Amino acid sequence: MKDSFCHSIEIRKLPLWERLNKKATPLSFTLEITARCNNNCRHCFINLPATDAHAAQTEISVAEILRIADQAVDAGALWCLITGGEPLLRRDFQDIYLGLKRKGLLVSVFTNATLVRPQHVDLFKRYPPRDLEVTVYGITQETYEAVTRRAGSFDAFRRGLDLLLNDGLPVWLKTMALRSNISELSEIAEFCRRHTRGYYRFDPLLHLRYDRNPVRNAEIEAERLLPEEIAALEQSDPERFPVMQKHCDEFILRKTGPTGDDRLFRCGAGAGGFAVSYDGIFRLCDTLWAPGTTFDLRKGPLREALTELVPRVLDMRSLNKTFLETCPVCPIVNLCLSCPAHTYLETGRMDGETPYFCAVAHARATMLDNRG
């Protein structure tokens, strides 16, 4: 899962449809080639069982993926992330990976490493990925499997990770800060920093599920840390906190007030890339699933999504006076996970109230204000 901190800082880039005509900075896109996973992580926002026959049957085929990739390259794409679910569950993973590489794309892969085998290592050594990202849920079997809820997953993770590390592949390690692993987070950080290729990152903010499953959402909410715990965790991190201090003035705005701007989208959605789901649905960003914001690439070309859907979504407005008088003018909005995508997952509307994210932002602001 991606690091969500400060994602909501407004990114002033050309919208995608303008980039098509102006040869701007290359685009990136995410391909969720499956929603299935061999683990059953308590906090996951997408995973379906590895044996889910319907999910497997609706996954985009290699031919569909390469057709989308051709259109993406024509639109200026250079980077592609393969993720899931667990992408190595796909028996045709090698065909997908090599097909994207042959398009000239820089390809990254997110994996839990439990399914890594020597043939995957050989593939990555012969055709190197831009990077491989592996999430470390714990460094003991008890903690790791409390998160994954699958017996034997810890040993499988260590075997797979060792295969990648021992061959010098470009592995980046990260973690999710969860109720189930909070007691081990310092040890996880030490392990990751010792073994990762570059910087270590952690994500303490959990958004809810794409399918809005109430039972699974309750599990995610149970894994969320208290806002004060998140602030304390970030303050204790020797790499994260100095960055937060250095950029404090970007996170806590000193001058705010009514703007008369009723736009919903003030983030970077639709600016630098897009995402494609396992069943071919285009979104402006990974988490944007609200009605009226998606496009079925099995029914229309990528260019139509970029030139017609994207500008229409970015022009969406709010009529919610409470929202317009709070979130858009909040001086600490850049410390908050709230955005139209996450707010929809949280509340069922893109301009609803998100008390948890708001509380986290205030805890972070207090921490930064008291930074000494």
Annotated domain spans of the chain: 16-253+271-319
* Number of CB atoms found within 10 A of residue 263's CB: 14
Chain segment 243-285, per-residue pLDDT in tens: 888 877 777 776 655 567 899 998 888 888 999 999 999 999 9
Class of residue 354 by CB neighbours under 10 A (exposed 0-12, middle 13-18, buried 19+): buried
Quick one: pLDDT at residue 293?
Answer: 98
Whether residue 270 has a cis bond before it, omega within 30° of 0: no
Quick one: pLDDT at residue 267?
Answer: 82
Name the class of domain 16-253+271-319.
alpha beta
Which residues lie across from 14 on neighbouring strands? none
Q: Could you give the angle at the alpha carbon of 356 between the alpha carbons of 148 and 47, nearest 5°?
A: 25
Chain segment 214-242, per-residue pLDDT in tens: 999 999 999 999 999 999 999 999 888 88
Q: What is the mean pLDDT of residues 311-337?
A: 90
Residue 337 pLDDT class (50, 70, 90 cuts): confident
Residue 366: CA atoms inside 13 Å, Cβ hemisphere, count? 12
**Which position has the higher pLDDT, 228 or 371?**
228
